[in-house]
Amino acid sequence: MRAIVEGDRVALVAATAERLTSLIAELIAERGGAVIALTGGSVGIELLSALADRDIDWEHVVVTWSDERFVEADSSDRNARQAREALLDRVPIPAGSVLELPAADGASLDAAAAAATELLAGVGVIDLTLLGMGPDAHVASLFPGLPGVRDTGSRVIAVRDSPKPPPERLSFTLEAINASDRVWLIVAGADKADAVALAASGASADEAPAGAVHGRLETLMLLDEDAAARL
Ligand SMILES: O=C1O[C@H](COP(=O)(O)O)[C@@H](O)[C@H](O)[C@H]1O
């Protein structure tokens, strides 16, 4: 995992927006399209806002999410709703290219996880999975010490006991994250510095899920100086 450090949170978001804009352009030029798994969380949503006025060929971009809070479709807790408000409702991305993970609108959490796995079956390899990280070193909705970290065999799992509310979530497994071509972990703030150092130290996935993620081609830890302070 390669760490790239920017001065502060604003600089980190701007530099990551620039990096992502360039990557999408390269992927479209080389392969005709880009498939990105978005992240929720504070920096993740700030990054999406920063992309809204970039020159991106949205017609050729497909997005999904590396995790989702299992709440009703119109809940402000939903990563997809936050992403729509920050970016997706403001750019010309085709409706069929926005692959939202299911909401809690009647189906059970297990059925939603199975439906999400099926939804992603049509997507193939994800070019880039974006991840935020909590102060406990969780990524997506894979939390230290919880069994989801060790889950294999399906791309999306049901999470029932998230220590960060809301408790019910859908999450990519580590296996699914690590099947992506690229993984970018975007982290800002002094409250994350210990978790960044732990993740970078080779701690186990059980202790620091963030330390167990890697892309097939590229793995970046994009940090501000506060988050990088203990490296
Ligand atoms: O709940 C979540 O939290 C993490 C990190 O969020 P942050 O606000 O501390 O940056 C995020 O990566 C994840 O997608 C989200 O569901």
Range of the domain at 108: 2-224
pTM of structure: 0.97
How large a percentage of the chain has pLDDT more than 70? 100
Domain CATH code at residue 136: 3.40.50.1360
pLDDT, position 210: 98
Average pLDDT over residues 62-85: 97
Taking residues 50-62, what's their average pLDDT? 97
Query: Binning pLDDT at 50, 70 and 90, where does residue 97 land?
Result: very high
- Indicate if ligand 1 lies below 6 Å from the C-beta of 210: no
Whole-angstrom distance, CA of residue 92 vs CA of residue 187: 28
CA distances from 66 to 22, 30, 81, 201 (A): 21, 24, 14, 24
The alpha carbon of 29 and the centre of ligand 1 are apart by a number of angstroms equal to: 31
CA distance 228 to 53: 28
Domain-located, residue 108: yes
| pLDDT attached to residue 106 | 86
Whether 39 lines ligand 1, by a CB cut-off of 6 Å, is: yes
User: Does residue 107 carry a pLDDT above 90?
Assistant: no
pLDDT at 184: 98
Residue 57 lies in a domain: yes
In a domain, 231, yes or no: no
Which tens digits make up the pLDDT trace of 15-33? 999 999 999 999 999 999 9
* Cα-based distances in Å from 130 to 47, 65, 112, 140, 230: 10, 9, 22, 9, 22
Cis peptide before 166 (omega within 30 of 0): yes
Domain presence at residue 80: yes
DSSP string, 166-189: SS-EEEE-HHHHHTSSEEEEEE-S
In a domain, 101, yes or no: yes
Domain tally for the chain? 1
Instruction: Work out the end-to-end distance of the chain between its first and last CA atoms, rounded to an integer number of angstroms.
Output: 13
Has residue 122 got a pLDDT over 90?
no
Rounded-to-integer distance, Cα 179 and Cα 119, Å: 16
Query: Is the pLDDT assigned to residue 105 strictly greater than 90?
Result: no
The DSSP secondary structure of 19-77, one letter per residue, reads HHHHHHHHHHHHHS-EEEEE--SHHHHHHHHHHTTS---GGGEEEEESEEE-S-TT-TT
pLDDT mean across residues, the chain? 97
* Residue 116 counted as domain residue: yes
Going by alpha carbons, the residue nearest to atom 4 of ligand 1 is 41
Q: State the Cα–Cα distance between residues 198 and 212, nearest whole angstrom.
A: 11
- Interval 157-190: pLDDT, tens: 999 999 999 999 999 999 999 999 999 999 999 9
Q: Which atom of ligand 1 is nearest to the CA of 132?
A: 12
Q: Residue 229 falls within a domain, yes or no?
A: no
Confirm whether 180 is domain-assigned: yes
